């Protein structure tokens, strides 16, 4: 029987790679993805794992930031659901990290390389077979690259479709991708046989601890449910947005022109529906998260979605106060 702990769920991911005691696992993952000329040998985790992070108000991306002894900056995040604008978000955040190194009056020579990594449980780009995308500042005509500046890496886990018989000959990044996607299907001993390297062994011990430690398992289950509820609501909002867009497009099309109305309606309906769905999903996740932490029966997401936005917001505030007072 497998451990049942998916490393890609935010609580498990942050505890596996964001705990200073697990630096060997983070270093192994970074080296597998980045493949730098000189491997990373040690890092300082700047935002280490803290249990309190998972009692925050909303279901957000909990990233990991680290530096090596040369000052190079490493940023890594895991996303289960992909929202629109992901590519622009990756660029913005990478540039923000790079520019954020300097204070007013600092010399540009102080800037150190930034490596920003986004791991997604989805296929973002419809073309190509590779699941690992590396973006650098490169001149298209000459191939000249501005080295030691900014690199952005995107890892699409579903692209790695091989089986465990192929693991022995797989690349380091493929091995980590397989572990992230399938570790929950195996027991700890089998995982240690498949992944004997030190970084993997540290990661395996961490998810094994989550599986058998009551407090960790409860938080893991809560976060996994919240992520699942949010994805369900986002998917529903997308469908609602498409339907609203079709209706609005038909109406406007009769007045202003069928083509123009249909396009505008689809865009407006989709954007507004997605925005409202995300906000409602966050509130639903807060309520269910707090109920679980308080040992109360969890209200179904469908029942909570029947409340108005104001009612749901007020209920979320009430439960957050109860959790804080209990702590």
**Under 8 Å CB-to-CB from 226, ≥6 apart: which residues?**
59, 285, 288, 289
Number of helical (H) and strand (E) elements in the chain, helices listed first: 10, 6
What pLDDT is stored for residue 232 in this prediction?
Answer: 62
Q: How far is CA 314 from the centre of its chain?
A: 28
Q: How many other C-beta atoms lie within 10 A of the C-beta of residue 216?
A: 19
What is the C-alpha separation between 185 and 196, in angstroms, rounded?
17
Pair (25, 167) in one structural domain: yes
Pair (204, 221) in one structural domain: no
Cα angle for residues 188, 194, 196 (degrees, 5° grid): 85
Pair (23, 149) in one structural domain: yes
Query: Is 121 in contact with 79 (CB distance < 8 Å)?
Result: yes
Residue 155: give the domain boundaries. 10-212
Task: Please state the domain count of the chain.
Answer: 2
Pair (150, 32) in one structural domain: yes
Pair (84, 187) in one structural domain: yes
> Is residue 82 situated within a structural domain?
yes
Pair (254, 129) in one structural domain: no
Query: Is 286 in contact with 57 (CB distance < 8 Å)?
Result: yes
Distances (CA, A) of 297 to 55, 285, 287, 293: 18, 14, 11, 10
Helix axes 172-182, 198-212, angle to 10 degrees: 10
Helix (H, G, I), strand (E, B) or coil at 132: strand
Please identify which residue in the block is written with the tokens 């990594």: 117
Nearest residue to 220 via CA among 51, 48, 25 = 51
Mean pLDDT by 10 residues, the chain (327 residues): 93 95 97 96 94 64 88 94 84 95 90 96 83 95 95 95 92 97 97 97 97 90 79 56 50 44 45 54 76 77 78 80 66
Tell me the pTM: 0.72
Residue that finishes a domain, picked among 212, 243, 260: 212
Residue that finishes a domain, picked among 193, 212, 231: 212
Pair (188, 228) in one structural domain: no
Residues 15-40: tens digit of each pLDDT: 999 999 999 999 999 999 999 999 99
> Is residue 124 situated within a structural domain?
yes
> Is residue 83 situated within a structural domain?
yes
What pLDDT is stored for residue 298 in this prediction?
Answer: 80
What pLDDT is stored for residue 32 in this prediction?
Answer: 98
Pair (136, 44) in one structural domain: yes
Pair (205, 238) in one structural domain: no
Pair (22, 153) in one structural domain: yes
What pLDDT is stored for residue 56 in this prediction?
Answer: 58
What is the C-alpha separation between 192 and 200, in angstroms, rounded?
8
Please identify which residue in the block is written with the tokens 């936005």: 309
Pair (51, 197) in one structural domain: yes
> Is residue 1 situated within a structural domain?
no
> Is residue 4 situated within a structural domain?
no
> Is residue 96 situated within a structural domain?
yes
Distances (CA, A) of 157 to 79, 113, 217, 239, 269: 11, 25, 24, 25, 30
Nearest residue to 185 via CA among 17, 27, 8 = 8
What is the C-alpha separation between 211 and 62, in angstroms, rounded?
20
Pair (173, 240) in one structural domain: no
> Is residue 187 situated within a structural domain?
yes
Widest Cα–Cα separation across the chain: 67
> Is residue 201 situated within a structural domain?
yes
Strand-pairing partners, residue 151, are: 115, 136
Q: How many other C-beta atoms lie within 10 A of the C-beta of residue 187?
A: 13
What pLDDT is stored for residue 254 in this prediction?
Answer: 45
Residue that finishes a domain, picked among 169, 196, 212: 212
């Amino acid at each position: 029987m497998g451990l049942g702990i998916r490393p890609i769920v935010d609580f498990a991911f942050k505890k596996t790679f964001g705990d200073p005691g697990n630096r060997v696992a983070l270093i192994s993952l970074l080296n597998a993805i980045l493949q730098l000329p000189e491997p990373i040998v040690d890092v300082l985790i700047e935002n280490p794992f803290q249990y309190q992070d998972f009692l925050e108000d909303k279901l957000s991306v909990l990233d990991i930031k680290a530096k090596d002894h040369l000052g190079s900056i490493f940023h890594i995040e895991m996303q289960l659901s992909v929202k629109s604008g992901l590519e622009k978000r990756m660029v913005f955040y990478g540039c923000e990290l790079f520019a954020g190194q300097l204070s007013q009056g600092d010399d540009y020579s102080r800037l150190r390389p930034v490596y920003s990594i986004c791991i997604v449980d989805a296929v973002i780009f419809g073309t190509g077979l590779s699941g690992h995308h590396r973006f650098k500042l490169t001149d298209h005509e000459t191939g000249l690259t501005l080295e030691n500046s900014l690199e952005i890496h995107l890892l699409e886990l579903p692209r790695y479709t091989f089986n465990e018989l192929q693991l022995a000959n797989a690349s380091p990044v493929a091995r980590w991708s397989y572990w992230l996607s399938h570790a929950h299907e195996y027991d700890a001993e089998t995982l240690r046989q498949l992944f004997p390297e030190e970084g993997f062994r540290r990661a395996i011990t961490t998810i094994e601890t989550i599986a058998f430690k009551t407090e960790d398992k409860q938080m893991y289950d809560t976060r996994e449910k919240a992520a699942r509820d949010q994805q369900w609501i986002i998917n529903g909002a997308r469908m609602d947005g498409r339907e609203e867009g079709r209706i609005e497009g038909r109406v406007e099309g009769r007045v202003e022109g069928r083509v123009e109305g249909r396009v505008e309606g689809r865009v407006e309906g989709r954007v507004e529906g997605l925005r409202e769905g995300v906000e409602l999903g966050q509130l639903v996740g807060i309520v269910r998260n707090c109920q679980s932490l308080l040992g109360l029966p969890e209200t179904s997401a469908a029942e909570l979605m029947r409340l108005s936005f104001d009612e749901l917001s007020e209920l979320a505030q009430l439960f957050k106060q109860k959790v804080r007072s209990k702590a």
